[in-house]
Amino acid sequence: MIGVLDSGLGGVTVLRELVKTVKNANFLYYCDSVNNPYGDKSSDEVYSIVKNIVDFLLDKGCVTIVIACNTASAICVKRLREEYPDTLFIAIEPAYKMVHDYNPSGKTLVMATKGTIESEKFLALYHKYDNNNTILFPCSGLAELVEEGNEVEINRYLENNLSEYKGVDNVVLGCTHYPLIKKNIRRVLGDVKFFDGSVGVSKELARQLELKSITFDKNNRTSFDFINTSSDSNKNIRFMELMNSSDN
Ligand code: DGL
């Protein structure tokens, strides 16, 4: 089984790609809505939350864990790999390299949580591929609004915070919640090119499974299960709706 974790429903944007890319596997999605948002918490707090989830997923029999949360990846993956040397961790990161590969001269806005933008891991990526035409914008509070699904508040947030960036060409969606609000971002910024890490992380998972010779029974149907830490049963409904839809 492959564990997938996020601070809520955002990681569904990753899970949708994972099930398309890795066939015959069973996925267990851990939706930690109760601790959302991770992005404004201290690194120690995020690490201790994520470590508990990892222990839970390993207990459930997961052999591999996909961190479908940019914030958790940025803050935790190095330490997790040291603490759990026998576990394969696949970690998403903001798709800033894709900008370098596909539209390097374009004016670029990186949207991510404060935790991601201030992390050593992200800053190393940014300095490596810096196109000298990039704005880093820590979207404090935005993932929380997306998690609540409050359209009015999401639109107000974007109007208030992104209007000054009209004219950018590229937008890096550096939090797995943000692909869910592409349509809302376009309302403010117009027809921008979006970059997100879900396809990259799915390909990386497939590559690593092959390298490590981790295989699944060919007769097994790809499946996914959902664990939600909040008592809100609407989350289960939204999870299924999101799994059956594509980004707007
Ligand atoms: N989905 C998350 C990410 O990719 C986390 C948002 C949050 O909990 O702050 O960063």
- Containing structural domain, residue 109: 96-195
- For residue 135, the surrounding DSSP H or E stretch is strand 134-138
Are 59 and 119 members of one domain? no
Are 100 and 190 members of one domain? yes
pLDDT in tens, 71-104: 999 999 999 999 999 999 999 999 999 999 999 9
Predicted pLDDT of residue 246: 79
Counting every residue written for the chain, the total comes to 248
Question: What's the CA-to-centroid distance between 224 and ligand 1, angstroms?
Answer: 21
Give me the active site residues, please: 69, 175
Are 191 and 102 members of one domain? yes
Question: What's the CA-to-centroid distance between 12 and ligand 1, angstroms?
Answer: 12
Are 13 and 59 members of one domain? yes
37 prior amide bond cis, ω within 30: yes
Helices within the chain (DSSP H only): 12-21, 43-59, 70-83, 96-102, 114-117, 120-129, 142-148, 151-162, 182-189, 198-211, 234-243
pTM of the full structure: 0.96
pLDDT band at 227 (very low <50, low <70, confident <90, very high): very high
The domain tally of the chain equals: 2
Are 178 and 57 members of one domain? no
CATH number of 188's domain: 3.40.50.1860
pLDDT band at 248 (very low <50, low <70, confident <90, very high): low
Task: Report if residue 248 sits inside a domain.
Answer: no
Q: Which of 180, 195, 210 is the last residue of a domain?
A: 195
Question: What's the CA-to-centroid distance between 193 and ligand 1, angstroms?
Answer: 21
- Whether 175 is in the pocket of ligand 1, judged by its Cβ within 6 Å, is yes
Question: What's the CA-to-centroid distance between 139 and ligand 1, angstroms?
Answer: 10
Tokens matching residue 120: 């050593």
Mean pLDDT, the chain, rounded, equals: 96
Are 216 and 189 members of one domain? no
- Whether 196 is in the pocket of ligand 1, judged by its Cβ within 6 Å, is no
Beta strands 193-195 and 134-138 are unpaired
Relative to the CA of 112, which ligand 1 atom is closest? 10
Q: For a pLDDT cut of 70, what percent of the chain falls above it?
A: 99
Are 222 and 173 members of one domain? no
Predicted pLDDT of residue 247: 67
Task: Report if residue 83 sits inside a domain.
Answer: yes
Q: Is the pLDDT of residue 68 over 90?
A: yes
Are 179 and 118 members of one domain? yes
The stretch 54-66 carries a mean pLDDT of 97
Relative to the CA of 11, which ligand 1 atom is closest? 1
Q: Which of 104-118, 184-198, 220-234 has the lowest mean pLDDT?
A: 220-234
Are 180 and 216 members of one domain? no
- Whether 70 is in the pocket of ligand 1, judged by its Cβ within 6 Å, is yes
Task: Report if residue 39 sits inside a domain.
Answer: yes
- Whether 91 is in the pocket of ligand 1, judged by its Cβ within 6 Å, is no
- Whether 69 is in the pocket of ligand 1, judged by its Cβ within 6 Å, is yes
